């Protein structure tokens, strides 16, 4: 097998990289694909928590690289989704524990075992980021419609562009969009962000309190029905698999009758 | 208040959304070129000085700008010429 290695990255911290990685992994696994989720945020391990697998971590990525265990021993298989495994980050080491060559070798090994290898990158543009993208052929850039996040995403896109030979394609996910704020011209829309960054869009995820609840439960929203963010991530997974899926209509009026009438009279493309 | 916002949305060029978009677009031209603030103004002055050696210029309509398409920047300079100097 020769799987696809996709790095999830953003530059800025706190825009939802890890949440997106977990949900894209779960959504891809739900389509039947075999998936490895790799936590490259060495020293600040969190993907295991979002997946609800924190109690089952024995070995980690650094143990594999330093040959203290076999890759298969370090992979934590998700009992709810047997075709999904997590390779956790080390918590007591730092970003210098792995180098780019080692990461390439590791990704090659993972590609032989899984159809999709989703790498959760750390924030920043330094060695941690450089290592995270080292073995990848594709990138998903996560951005929120805030100026600082867009600026950092632009920097990341510049760095990905400079690595065109390795990173064959990159696409943007606009996360945490608030349709009501866009409608009131208080927040940049998805199209505004796309205009600014000149980049292909992979998906749009609305701001959703369910994300907090799902994180607390250790069950990513993509695996549960009835959440808009979960549906958005499932659509992203389908697009990654090459399906053409229309964007979610986020402009659904909610709240009072006045809002509904205004939305009806004056719909805004978010 | 919301209904007022809605009525005035036709000219919402000073809305937070549009202000953010404008600021981003200007900022990223400089970011991508790694162009320090003030540098462009120096270039403008120097270019003006050179062109002014050959032409009398209509200074009011001279236009100097950085524009961006598909992540590539272009320098747009528009000098309105009145007559050649001999």
pLDDT in tens, B48-86: 999 999 999 988 888 888 888 888 899 999 999 999 997
Does B1 map to a domain? no
Question: Is the residue at A144 inside a domain?
Answer: yes
Q: Is residue B5 part of a domain?
A: no
Domain interval for residue B54: 14-84
Among B4, B6, B11, B15, smallest CA distance to A265 is for B6
Q: Could you list the residue range(s) of the whole structural domain that residue A141 is in? A: 4-265
ipTM: 0.81
Residue B76 in any domain: the answer is yes
| Residue of higher predicted confidence among A241 and A253 | A241
Q: Name the residue facing A147 among B9, B20, B71 (closest C-beta).
A: B20
Whether residue A189 contacts residue A269, with contact meaning beta carbons closer than 8 Å, is answered with yes
Q: Which of A168, A133, A142 is nearest to A40 (CA)?
A: A133
Structural domain includes residue A270: no
CATH code of A259's domain? 3.40.50.300
Q: How far is B55 from chain A (nearest CA, A)?
A: 37
User: Which pLDDT belongs to residue B7?
Assistant: 58
| Residue A92 belongs to a domain | yes
Separation CA B86–CA B78 (nearest Å):
22
For residue A76, give the nearest of A54, A98, A106, A101 by alpha carbon.
Answer: A54
Q: In A, which residues are within 8 Å of B25 by CB distance?
A: 195-196
- Domain assignment present for residue B8? The answer is no
- pLDDT tier for residue A153 given thresholds of 50, 70 and 90: very high
Query: What pLDDT does residue B65 have?
Result: 87
Asked whether residue B3 is domain-assigned, the answer is: no
Please give the share of chain A, as a percent, with pLDDT higher than 90.
89
CA dist., res. A120 & res. A117, Å (int): 10
| Residue at A197 is within a domain | yes
The whole-number pLDDT of residue A10 equals 97
pLDDT digits (tens, 9 = 90+) for B15-26: 999 999 999 999
Whether residue A115 lies inside any domain: the answer is yes
**Of the partner residues B2, B6, B25, the one whose CB lies closest to the CB of residue A196:** B25
Q: What is the pTM of this model?
A: 0.88
Which SS3 state, helix, strand or coil, does residue A77 take? strand
The whole-number pLDDT of residue A250 equals 77
A185 and B28 within 8 Å at the Cβ level: the answer is: no
Structural domain tally of chain B?
1
Q: Is residue B59 part of a domain?
A: yes
Question: How would residue A149 be classed by pLDDT, with cut points 50, 70 and 90?
Answer: very high
Q: What is the mean pLDDT of residues A54-68?
A: 97
Report yes or no: A5 at the B interface, CB cutoff 8 Å.
no
Distance of CA B50 to the CA centre of its chain: 20
Residue B34: how many CB atoms within 10 A of its CB?
6
Report if residue B54 sits inside a domain: yes
Is pLDDT larger for residue A248 or for residue A29?
A29
Q: Taking all residues of chain A, what is their mean pLDDT, rounded to a whole number?
A: 93
Search chain B and give the residue with CA nearest A197. B71
Rounded to whole angstroms, the Cα distance separating A10 from A117 reads: 18
In a domain, B6, yes or no: no
- Residues of chain B contacting residue A198, judged by C-beta atoms under 8 Å apart: 69-71
Structure confidence at residue B22 (pLDDT): 92
């Amino acid at each position: 097998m020769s799987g696809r290695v996709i790095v999830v990255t953003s530059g800025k911290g706190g825009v939802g990289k890890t949440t997106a990685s977990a949900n894209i992994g779960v959504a891809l696994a739900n389509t039947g694909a075999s998936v490895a989720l790799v936590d490259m945020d060495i020293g600040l391990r969190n993907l295991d928590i979002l997946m609800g697998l924190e109690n089952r971590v024995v070995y980690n990525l650094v143990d594999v690289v330093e040959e203290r265990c076999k890759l298969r021993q370090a992979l934590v298989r998700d009992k709810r989704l047997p075709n999904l495994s997590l390779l956790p980050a080390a918590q007591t080491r730092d970003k210098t524990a792995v180098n780019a060559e080692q990461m390439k070798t590791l990704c090659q090994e993972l590609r032989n075992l899984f159809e999709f290898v989703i790498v959760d990158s750390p924030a920043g543009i330094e060695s941690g980021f450089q290592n995270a993208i080292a073995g990848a052929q594709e990138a998903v850039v996560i951005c929120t419609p805030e100026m600082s996040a867009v600026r950092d995403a632009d920097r990341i896109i510049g760095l990905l562009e400079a690595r065109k030979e390795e990173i064959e394609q990159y696409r943007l996910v606009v996360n945490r969009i608030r349709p009501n704020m866009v409608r009131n011209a208080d927040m940049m829309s998805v199209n505004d962000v796309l205009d600014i960054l000149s980049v292909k869009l992979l998906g749009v995820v609305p701001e959703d309190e369910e994300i907090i609840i799902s994180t607390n439960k250790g069950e990513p929203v993509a695996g549960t029905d009835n959440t808009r963010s979960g549906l958005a991530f499932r659509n992203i997974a389908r697009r990654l698999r090459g399906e053409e899926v229309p964007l979610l209509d986020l402009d659904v009026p909610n709240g009072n009758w006045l809002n509904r009438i205004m939305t009806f009279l004056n719909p805004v493309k978010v | 208040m919301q209904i007022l916002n809605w009525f005035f949305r036709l000219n919402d060029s000073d809305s937070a959304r549009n202000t953010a978009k404008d600021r981003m677009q200007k900022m990223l031209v400089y970011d991508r070129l790694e162009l320090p603030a003030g540098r462009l103004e120096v270039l403008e002055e120097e270019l003006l000085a050179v062109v002014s050696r050959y032409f009398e210029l209509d200074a009011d309509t001279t236009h100097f700008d950085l524009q961006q398409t598909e992540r590539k920047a272009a320098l747009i300079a528009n000098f309105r010429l009145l007559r050649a100097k001999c």
